[in-house]
Amino acid sequence: MKKLFRTNWIKTLVSLILTFVIIQLLISLNIINSYLQTTLATICINIILAVSLNLITGFTGQFSLGHAGFMSIGAYVCALITLKTPTIPGFILGVLAGALTAAVIGILVGLPTLRLRGDYLAIATLGMAEIIRIIFLNMDSITNGAAGLQDIPQFVNWRWLFFYTAGTILIIANFIKSSHGRACISIREDEIASEAMGINSTRYKVIAFTIGAFFAGIAGALYASTFNFIDPKIFGFSKSIDILVIVVLGGLGSISGSIIAAILLGIITTYLQAFANIQMILYSLLLVIIMIFRPQGLMGSKELSLSVFSKFGNSFKSKKGRV
């Protein structure tokens, strides 16, 4: 089991390194220009958000609509720190402080709300996100209120984004494959049966919620430093829905699905900007068509593996040999 786990971890790491090399090559050849690098930044941030929400909703089975609230905490904390200390150490401190603050709020919110289930939990987490947004909106002396924070020092490039995105994927994937991750999955499948087997469901739900909030805080911090501007409107209800759409489209309980869906929607959004007047209509129509034909999401609950390509290659060789 340990050998299999180590092999899977090495395969994931090799895949991430190859992805980094390919993207770096495309950027150096100017195939990915500055405009497409902005799309790449958005995709990386959305992957972090989607993978972390998938841990809560897809793997633990807790329907949360509060992810934008944790993202806003990370964004504002990091922005305020980097505005006061516009250096790389200040930025790193801002990302860490934003993520930890989001995680602490996640614990405080999770302990009372995660005793709820289904729609009640969704309403409670949505209310929490709106409370956070309204607090930032009314703290004029600190957050500049509705006008938001501008001229945030930009320390993030695509390498930073890739580093944080890869780290998020590796950490959450390893958590899911651990005994704690299996406990979370058992809660999703049957909470009563898992409690009967001695699993403290509230504890593991809070752990998953806290980890998800931590990485949402990182995504928010990266967003603030990438786009140089934040305001409370960015982190409204629609942002939580956008993140949830990526998770559902990719497949609940599939990290690969979240990554593929984030990339796909990022590319679709970029190319639909040529149709500015009907962009949202086309975007919504595409989502409806995809969900009609793939209601379980693009990947369902399965993961993309390098073994798929090796099996495909072996089957191709066997067919060729028969001919």
- The answer to whether 297 and 246 are in contact (CB under 8 A) is no
pLDDT (average), residues 198-222: 94
With a cut of 50, say whether residue 35 has pLDDT above it: yes
**What pLDDT score was predicted for residue 234?**
92
Report the candidate in 301, 69, 26, 59 with the shortest Cα–Cα distance to residue 162: 26
**What pLDDT score was predicted for residue 322?**
53
Question: CA distances (Å), 316 to each of 11, 303, 307, 323, in order?
Answer: 22, 22, 14, 11
**What pLDDT score was predicted for residue 117?**
79
With a cut of 60, say whether residue 320 has pLDDT above it: no
**What pLDDT score was predicted for residue 32?**
85
Using one digit for the tens of pLDDT, what is the confidence trace for 133-174? 999 999 988 998 888 899 999 888 888 999 999 999 999 999
CA distance linking residue 183 with residue 176, whole number of Å: 9
DSSP 200: -
With a cut of 50, say whether residue 309 has pLDDT above it: no
Q: At 112, is the pLDDT very low, low, confident or very high (cuts 50, 70, 90)? A: confident
Q: At 306, is the pLDDT very low, low, confident or very high (cuts 50, 70, 90)? A: low
Q: Which CATH architecture has domain 2-312?
A: Orthogonal Bundle (1.10)
Q: At 104, is the pLDDT very low, low, confident or very high (cuts 50, 70, 90)? A: very high
What string of DSSP letters covers 62-130? -----HHHHHHHHHHHHHHHHHHS-SHHHHHHHHHHHHHHHHHHHHHHHHHHTTS-HHHHHHHHHHHHH
* 6-15, 23-32, 66-75: range with lowest mean pLDDT: 6-15
149 has which bridge partners? 230
> Whole-model pTM?
0.90
pLDDT (average), residues 193-201: 89
**What pLDDT score was predicted for residue 284?**
81
Cα atoms in the Cβ-side hemisphere of radius 13 Å centred on 206:
15
- Indicate the average pLDDT of the chain: 87
Report the candidate in 12, 88, 94, 1 with the shortest Cα–Cα distance to residue 51: 12
